[in-house]
Structure formats: C-alpha cells, structure tokens
Chains A and B, each alone.
Chain A
Amino acid sequence: MTKYILKRLAMMVLVVLGISFIVFTIMSLTPGNAAQMILGQSASPEQVAKLEAELGLDQPFFARFFGFWKGVLQGDFGKSYQTKLPVFDEILARFPTTLKLSTFAMLIATLIGVPVGVISAVRQYSIVDGVSMVIAMLFASVPSFVMGLLLQLEFALNLRWLPATGVASWQSYILPAFTLSASTMATLTRMTRSTMLEAIRQDYIRTARAKGATESSVVLRHALRNALLPIVTVIGVDFGYLLGGTVIIESVFSLPGLGTLMITSIRMKDTPVVMAAVMFVTIAYSLVNLAVDIIYAFIDPRVKSQYAKG
C-alpha cells in the first residue's frame, strides 16, 4: 500500500513537469506580449523592449522555462508581471475562498445526492423516485450561471435572506455553493440510484435477506458499500475540478477565487501567475484523485489486494 502511494506520488511529479511544460509552451506561443499589455497600446517600442528585458522576456524559450523551474525548486514562483507581488502569496490569498466554496458545494451535493439516490433505488418507480429523477434532470441541464442568477433573484433580492455577492460572512457561500453543487448533486443522485439498483439485484443481497437481515441493514450495510466505488469516483473527480476554481460562478457572485485570477492572468499574459496557479491546481487535483484511490482500498478489499501487487 505504502509502495503504491509512493509510486503514485512519483508519477505526480512527472505529471506536474509535463503540465508545466505544456502550459509554458502555450503561454509563449499564443500571440500577445506581456510588456505591451502592461504599458498599454500607446507605449513606444523602446519602452516595451526595456520592460521585456527587465522581465526576462527577451531570453530564449528554454532559458526561460529552466529559469522558471530553477526558481520553483528554490521555493520561488516569481513575481506577477502585473502586480509585482510574489505569485505564491497571491494564490494563497485566493485559494481559501475556492477551497471553502468547493468543499461546501461537495458537502451539499453528497449529503443530498447520495441519500436521495438510495431512496430512489429502494423505492424504484415510486413518486419519490419520479420526482427526484425529474429534479436531477433539471439540475443537470440548467446552466450554472442561469441557476446562480435565479437564486440571487429569489433569495437575495426578493426574500433578502442571503447576500447576493461577496465573501463577507459564511452565509455568502450558501448561494454559490448550492449553484455549484447542482450538477454534481444531479450526477450523484442518478449514479447512486443506478449502482444501488444493480447492487440490490446481486445474489449476496438475497443471501443477506435469507439470513433474516432487516431491510435497512440490507440496503445500507450490504448494498450501499458495494455501490460506493463509482459514487466516490464522481465525488473525487468533481471535487478536483472545483478546486481549479470556477470562473462563471466566481464572476456571477463576485468571489475572489482562483478561477478569476487565472482568467485575468491568462488575458494579461501574466505567465508566472498562470504557471503557479496551474501547478497548484494540478497538484490539488492529483492529490484528490490519490485520496479517492486510497479510499477505494478501504471500501473494497479486492482493490486493496490489487494495490498490494504493485
């Protein structure tokens, strides 16, 4: 198991290296010039050249790429072209918002989606099942910005229960987190329902019933644990995705998250910020996925013995 985790961590280093190279290449190849962006259209070519030299943009591609990595290995991600502030501080300042938002959203999605899915499966074709499947369909198909705006309109403007924008208090997170959770919740509900329906049909469920097990024990102890793998996968993938920041929700609710930072930096050709943010997200995503794979082993002993083989 430890060996497996170490192997995965080693692979993560390669993934980060690869991604950093790809993103750096894209940033260099796309048209536009950071110095020009900072100085504006009216700046003279001399001024632009001078700033380029200052930022090191006049050096060849590989020199810049290795220069970037040399800094990273020394714990220095460089300074933003725009703000001149250390990139790392900026990301650390923004990440908590994104982390809180995505954790909150995942909690809502899991705590509602999984139980509703289980109930839908156990009471297949009942009214509860029908209604929750229709709502799930709705949540999965309404674009998040539409849902965000509708929720703002109702709960912030009409009812005045919750703040519409900003991160002033924890209540500010409720609307964006709910908006963000909607599609995951829908996926989880449907996924839980279908894997539970499959699990309930298995022979070992009949064995459990033949033992005289109660319905709740049959559903929760015997069926749900077997149905859990795909559910955990969805939670993991979506959580990793949300950690990368969500541009649309952040702009609808004016939240200072990673998503907006990344978009503005890309637009401004602010390579150090983009690089650091992408690497941060990559690592977060990989760690979440590793965590998911470790959780697999605790859910299913067969997976654990696979890991032991290496």
Chain B
Amino acid sequence: MSERLLEIKDLVVEYHTDEADVHALNGVSLSLDKGETLGLVGETGAGKTTTALSIMQLLPKRIGEIKSGEILFEGEDLRKKTEAQMRVIRGESISMIFQDPMTSLNPVIRVGDQILEALRLHRPDMSKEEQQKKVDEMLEMVGIPAARKREYPHQFSGGMKQRVVIAIALALEPKLLIADEPTTALDVTIQAQVLQMMNDLKTKLDTSMLLITHDLGVVSQTCDKVAVMYAGEVVEYGRAEDIFLGKRHHPYTDGLFGSLPELNSHAKRLSPINGLMPDPMALPEGCKFHPRCPHCTERCRHEIPVIHRDGEHMIRCHLMDEEVR
C-alpha cells in the first residue's frame, strides 16, 4: 500500500469554558495515506472541525486544549512542534479551506494579495514576477480570470470566493488539504462545480485531502475512506466501499443512511435518528450513542464498547461482539 501521511492516535481535546469543560474529542484515531481522500462525516457538534483545527494546531487559544494523543504527520508528532515550526508547516505542507467563504477572506485586502501572502511567506526565494505569475496561474486554475486579482472579496460571488480560498490553500501545493465543509455555504449547482474542481486539482497536484462534511452524497463521490464521527469519537471507519456497500455498520451509520431521502421510494416521511447529539459537557456513560440507539442493550448503558476490526473496517459497537464470534 501507499505511504502513510497522517495518523491521529487517541486524540483527546477539551474546551474550557467558564461553565464547564467541554469534551470535544474523546480518543479519536484516524489515518490517511498519500493521495487519498478521507471523508469525516457526522452531525454538527460531533468534533469534525475540532479534529481539523487540532491538526493545524489552531484551536482557540486558552480555550481549546489537546489533553492527550498523537498527531503524526509524515511520522512526526505535530504536538511537539514549536509555534515557529508549525507556521512553516501551515500553508506549506498542510493547508485548510474553511466552511464559510463569505467570511474567510479578508475584506480589506485584494484577493490577489491574499494568495500572494502565502507565497511570500513560504517562497521567499521566488522573485516578485514569479510570485505574481504564480498568483495568476492559481486564479486561472480555479477558473477566475487573472485580471480580477486586483479586486476585493466583496466584488466576488460566494462560489468565486470559495474558489479564491481554494487557490490560496493550493498555491503552495500542500501535501495535505483539509477542507472543512467546503461546499455547505454554496448553492447546489456551485457545490458540484467546486467539488469537481477540488477533486481535479487534488489529482493534478497529488494532494491528500481530509474532507469534512455532513453530506453523504459528497462523500460517496469523492472519498476513498470514510470516518463516521459521533460525540467526539470515530464510531466507524473504513474504505468507502465498506461504508456504502458493506453489510455491517454501526447503528449510527445506519441511522445516517436511513435519514437520507430516496427518490425511488414512495415514503412520505424521512426516518431521522431520534433525539439529539448528547451534551458534550455531560456525556452519557457507556456507549455515547446508547440513548438514541434502536438496538440499545443493558450493556451499552454501562460499558464503553471496544473497536471491532475487519481488515481496515472498524466499528465501535457492542452489537458486533456476537456477530464476530
């Protein structure tokens, strides 16, 4: 198999607020190989963005804290890096696309200069002309005429802004691109375009991607591997085939698929997962999904389930115990 690029082991992250400690991540383990796309799926509040910010070491200062775990990028633990070392990695090796293109560009700086900034920081050896040429090239690559680099973000539409954000993220041809719900704020037609473009660029630049989304359709189109997150844990992890075509799943994954509308069925109502994501300040005992689980047993209420492996496919659920046996 190909080389391992990113490996997260037992990552625990807490947010300290005035009221209480929020348990955002409770032992997340993930891995991503070179050239692959890993989809991170789950409801709002499952800890997807926290995972991404932990990799970037950009958790909100004083509030967010990585309690334990390892984040290995090319074999090196990012947690052990100094701030100066992280600055070199950010943008250069790992870059990130944020959720809302409307607010992720600086409104008072020309879009060209915002792309240029990344080059100035990480490619000081390039001449000014070369840098400008690269900016033009990046804009053209994401489908924006280079002449528009002198314009400001407010002169661009949402989809165009997201293209600029992507151009910034890819300007240095990073090894890992973290895309945090890159299409959520865009309308459906633009979503497809942007995704297609990201996929093409990813292949062209040989970048690995961590795609955070709650859109399973997007995952099925783009991802090689999928991690399903719930309440700060990865409850199921596997190749896309395992998740989309496999027979055995975590009840939460089943629930996610069950809540998708199907065009060819005549059902009048969707079947959502009942209940809400548990309060991360007071997580339930045992399996964190048990209050909403249709197959909940007495054991689920008290005992934290272990991970069951079947090749690369992993499921964290007690139900798998019997089946494996």
Contacts and interface: CB of A to CB of B under 8 A. Distances in A.
Nearest to B96: A210
Contacts of A226: 106-108
Interface string A192-234: 0000000000111011111111100000011001100000000
Contacts of B98: 203, 206-207, 210
Nearest to A226: B108
Contacts of B121: 211-214
Contacts of A302: 107, 152, 154
Interface stretch (B37-45, B87-95, B139-147, B250-258): B87-95
Interface centre among B104, B108, B109 (most CB of A within 10 A): B108
B155 to A, nearest CB: 8
Contacts of B155: 305
Given A206-B58, A207-B98, A301-B152, A212 B107 contact: no
Given A203-B103, A222-B106, A299-B108, A208 B58 contact: no
B105 interface: yes
A203 B104 contact: yes
B300 interface: no
The size class of the interface chain A forms with chain B is 20 to 34
B168 interface: yes
Contacts of A210: 56, 58, 90-91, 95-96, 98, 169
Given A212-B87, A212-B89, 13 more contacts: A203-B100, A204-B107, A207-B168, A211-B91, A212-B121, A213-B87, A213-B121, A221-B109, A226-B106, A226-B107, A300-B108, A301-B108, A302-B154
B122 A212 contact: yes
Contacts of B88: 212
A204 B107 CA distance: 8
Contacts of B104: 203-204, 206-207
Interface string B58-90: 100000000000000000000000000001111
Interface residues of B, number: 29
A155 to B, nearest CB: 40
B103 A212 contact: no
Contacts of B91: 210-212
A213 B107 contact: no
Interface centre among B103, B117, B155, B169 (most CB of A within 10 A): B117
Interface in B112-156: 117-118, 121-122, 152, 154-155
B165 interface: yes
A230 to B, nearest CB: 14
Contacts of A206: 58, 98, 104
A301 B154 contact: yes
A210 B91 CA distance: 6
Contacts of B56: 209-210
Interface string A97-134: 00000000000000000000000000000000000000
B58 A212 contact: no
Given A212-B121, A214-B87, A305-B154, A207 B108 contact: no
A34 B280 CA distance: 78
Contacts of B109: 221-222, 225
Nearest to B121: A212
A209 B88 CA distance: 11
A211 B95 contact: yes
A226 B153 CA distance: 13
Contacts of A213: 87, 117, 121
A202 B109 CA distance: 14
Contacts of A212: 87-92, 118, 121-122
Given A212-B87, A212-B88, A213-B121, A207 B152 contact: no
B263 to A, nearest CB: 35
B89 A207 contact: no
Nearest to A207: B104
B185 to A, nearest CB: 11
B193 to A, nearest CB: 21
Interface in B247-293: none
Interface string B209-235: 000000000000000000000000000
Nearest to B165: A207
15 contacts: A207-B104, A209-B56, A210-B96, A211-B118, A211-B121, A212-B88, A212-B91, A212-B118, A213-B117, A214-B121, A225-B109, A226-B107, A300-B107, A301-B108, A302-B154
Contacts of B87: 212-214
A300 B91 CA distance: 26
Interface string A59-90: 00000000000000000000000000000000
Contacts of A225: 108-109
Nearest to A223: B106
A212 B91 CA distance: 5
Nearest to A225: B108
B117 A211 contact: yes
Nearest to B117: A211
A214 B117 CA distance: 11
A216 B77 CA distance: 26
Interface in B273-321: none
